[in-house]
Chains A and B, each alone.
Chain A
Amino acid sequence: MKQPWLLNTVKIATLFLVGALLIGHGTRSKTDKYEISWHELSTARLSFDLTAQTPERRFLVEVRSENYLPPHDGLPLWEERLAVQGVQGTTDPALIYVMTNTAAQERYHARSFYIQHVSRRRHYVMASAPRPPSENKYLPIVASCRQKTCTASSILTIRRAPEVKTAVQHISLEYIADLMGPPYCSNCKLERRPRKPGGAKISLRLTEM
């Protein structure tokens, strides 16, 4: 070739492009909304990456069911579908990072993306968190029972402490569920578990990172 510099430039540019492709291939688009289901493990926790919802802040939300202690002799069945749906799952039974994917939401569930983590008895509870207000003081979370035909839901409005300024803060929040407690809604007649006095309690810990 008479102009080797041109060919060289094209080759170097191609290398750069492929490099960018490798770096960005797992990138998930930002999230407007997500729905999460969690398992009936008493120690199960889910971590939600809310980066997209709060671009300037990063939250780690841990959800743990406390009062229901269903026996569970196995690890959560984190499935390949997690990967397929654009979710980062770890094999650690205690902690699952969830990164939602707008594209996946639209393609799979028409605006509602969720991890369908089905327990052995195919009962699961879903929670979704719409985009918080711009002030970011409240984080509404909608928890819904998905037991067969049950449509009960409860909206939690969690107030984020306004004084939180530092890089890492822990806010402990407790919620006494009136309508539901993981994994079963009180409206559900089927396989409803006896509730402990005080109702089902879900603890959410928001960690600002």
Chain B
Amino acid sequence: MKPIKMQEFFNPWCLIAIVLFSINNLYWKLDYPNWITGKLSDFAVCYFLPLYVSALLSLVVDWKLRQRLRVGVMLTALIFTLVKTSGYMSGQLNLLLSQITTAFGFGPSANIADPGDLIALPLIGIAYLYTIKKMESQHETALVVKYR
């Protein structure tokens, strides 16, 4: 069996972002409601979502990493911007997510349109650039090792 790589997603920074996202949503936002906890999840999601999308794409299409990441970046930026700037789009997202969450016995989803959250958008670019740089350096190292 061929091992699935998804190296863009399974890296420490991405996993840290996911852990922060989880802890913040589950505990910190409730325990310490302030600006930082209000934005932390947005920063985290902007970092790991493009990588997550890219990893998902790697399961279904045979694209190069760069292509997958670009799609992840564009999709994340588009969705994030829409749901954070438009009450309607945010409502539609909640409607969609609530159908899933309530089907599993949880409460409705309550994401909020807040244009101030767009401050986290640069993290999408950082995630892209960092991943590309890291992957390329790993690739070069691998080549050096291979041809030694």
Residues of A within 8 A of B (CB): 1, 4-5, 7-8, 11-12, 14-15, 18-19, 21-31, 49, 51-52, 80-92, 97, 99, 101, 103-104, 107-108
Contact = CB atoms under 8 A, between A and B. Distances in A.
A108 B34 CA distance: 13
B110 A27 contact: yes
Contacts, number: 114
7 contacts: A4-B2, A4-B3, A8-B3, A23-B101, A28-B107, A80-B35, A84-B37
Contact of A80 (B2, B29, B56, B114): B114
A24 B106 contact: yes
Given A4-B1, A80-B35, A99 B108 contact: yes
A34 to B, nearest CB: 13
B6 interface: yes
Contact of B108 (A5, A27, A89): A27
Interface of B: 1-4, 6, 9-10, 18, 21-22, 25, 29-31, 33-35, 37-38, 41, 45, 48-49, 52, 55-56, 59, 87, 90-91, 94, 97, 100-102, 106-114, 116
A30 B45 CA distance: 25
B25 A28 contact: no
A85 B33 contact: yes
B113 A86 contact: no
Contacts of B108: 27-28, 49, 51, 99
Q: Which 5 A-B pairs have the closest CB atoms?
A: A90-B87, A84-B33, A4-B3, A88-B110, A26-B111
A30 B107 contact: yes
B17 to A, nearest CB: 10
B34 A86 contact: no
Contact of A18 (B18, B25, B31, B97): B18
Nearest to A17: B18
A98 to B, nearest CB: 9
Contacts of B106: 24, 27, 29
Given A11-B10, A18-B18, A23-B97, A86 B3 contact: no
Contact of A27 (B1, B10, B56, B109): B109
A85 B100 CA distance: 23
